[in-house]
Amino acid sequence: MYRSTQVFTLLILAFLVLVGPVLAGTSNGITLNTSQTCYASGDTVSFTLTNASDSVLWVPHIPVWSIRDVAADSLIYPFFVFWSYVSLDTSQSASYTWDQRDYHGTQVSTGSYLVEVGGTLGLSGPGVSVADTFDIGGSSSTVPETWGWLKSLFGK
As separate numbers, helices (DSSP H) first and strands (DSSP E) second, the chain gives 2, 10
Mean model confidence pLDDT for the chain: 82
pLDDT at 124: 86
Cis peptide before 63 (omega within 30 of 0): yes
**Per-residue pLDDT averaged across 53-82, rounded?**
96
Would you say 119 and 59 are in contact if contact means Cβ atoms under 8 Å apart?
A: yes
For residues 2 and 73, the model is more confident at 73
Please return the burial class of 46, using the count of CB atoms within 10 Å of its CB with bins 0-12, 13-18 and 19+. Answer: middle
| CATH among 3.90.1170.30, 2.60.40.420, 2.60.120.370, 2.60.40.4070 for 34-140 | 2.60.40.4070
Interval 94-127: pLDDT, tens: 999 999 999 999 999 999 999 999 999 998 889 9
Lowest mean pLDDT among 26-30, 64-68, 111-115: 26-30
pLDDT band at 145 (very low <50, low <70, confident <90, very high): very low
Enumerate the domain spans of the chain. 34-140
**Per-residue pLDDT averaged across 8-34, rounded?**
57
d(C-alpha 57, C-alpha 70), whole Å: 26
Which of helix, strand or coil describes residue 104? coil
One-letter amino acid for residue 106 of the chain: T
